[in-house]
Structure 1
Amino acid sequence: MSINATLFVQAIVFLILVLFTMKFVWPPIAKALDERAKKIADGLAAADKAKSELTAVNKRVEEELSATRNETASRIADADRRAQAIVEEAKARATEEGNKIIAAARADAEQQVIQARETLREQVAALAVKGAEQILRKEVNPAVHSDLLNRLKTEL
């Protein structure tokens, strides 16, 4: 055979091989490559979406943390104000109670002073009667002379 015929037959076989490859081999390979490219694109899109969702979630978490911090600070301030008010109220009640105790003690002391004066007056009156009795050397009846003794008490 001649070289031209061999070349011609080889060209025809090559053409058949190309047509066979294009018809039966190339479409599944192209389909697999397209599916792989689509999966990669979907994965990248999902990663971008997840990244944006993560950013949004992080932002929302920071906002909630900030709100929680503000609320906590507010509650602590309220608790401090309440504690201060309770302390002030307790001080006021203690002062009021102390004033009541002092007033009661003063009233009691005043009452004791009055009672002591009365007792002293009675003792002085009794001493005066005994003194007058000894001066007169006779017995003085307190029941008979009660009016005189009452005037003597009031004068003392």
Structure 2
Amino acid sequence: MSITATLIIQIIVFLLLVAFTMKFVWPPIANALDERAQKVADGLAAADKAKTELAAANQRVEQQLAETRNESAQRLADAESHARAIIEEAKARAAEEGNKIVAAARVEAEQQVIQAREALREQVAQLAVKGAEQILRKEVNPSVHSELLTRLKTEL
């Protein structure tokens, strides 16, 4: 056999092999490659979508954290102002109560002073009567001089 015939037979066998491969082998491989490319594209799209969703979720979380911080700061400020108001109210009540106690003590002290003066006047009047009685034993008559003794008591 000549080299030319061998070459022609090899070319024919090669062409049959290429035709067989293109008809039966190549379409499933191409389909598998296309499916794989589609899956990779879908996976990349899903990854991009997940990145976008993650960024949006992070933004929402930061926003909610900021709102929570502001809310807690506002509640803390409200609690502090409420505490100050309670303290001021308690101070005012204590001052009122203290003023009432001081006023009541002054009134009581004045009453005691008045009672002490009255008791002292009585004692002075009695001493004056006894002293005058001893000096003027004969002339002093309590029933006769009662008006004089009453006037003396009020003057003291």
Q: TM-score, normalised by structure 2?
A: 0.91
Shift, 1:141, TM fit: 6.8
Corresponding residue for residue 101 of structure 2: 101
Q: Indicate the SS of the match to 1:31.
A: helix
Matched, 1:154 2:154: yes
Matched, 1:13 2:13: yes
Shift, 1:43, TM fit: 0.8
5 Å-filtered alignment, 1:1-156, equals 1-138=1-138, 146-156=146-156
Moved more, 126-135 or 52-61: 126-135
What's the CA shift string for 1:107-152, capped at 9, x where partnerless?
1110111000000011011111111221222596757765443322
One-letter amino acid of the counterpart of residue 102, structure 2: I
Change (3 A) 1:119 1:11: same
Moved more, 118-127 or 2-11: 2-11
Partner Cα separation in structure 2 for residue 139 and residue 31 of structure 1: 154
What's the CA shift string for 1:16-50, capped at 9, x where partnerless?
10111111111111111111111111111111001
What's the CA shift string for 1:57-87, capped at 9, x where partnerless?
1111111111111111111111111111112
Percent identity over paired residues: 78
Q: Indicate the SS of the match to 2:103.
A: helix
Partner Cα separation in structure 1 for residue 137 and residue 17 of structure 2: 171
CA-atom RMSD in angstroms: 1.9
Q: Indicate the SS of the match to 1:108.
A: helix
Q: TM-score, normalised by structure 1?
A: 0.91
Partner Cα separation in structure 2 for residue 148 and residue 58 of structure 1: 105
Query: Does 1 or 2 have the higher relative contact order (CA < 8 Å, sep 6+)?
Result: 2
Partner Cα separation in structure 2 for residue 53 and residue 145 of structure 1: 115
Structure 2 residue ranges without an equivalent (≥5): none
Aligned residues: 156
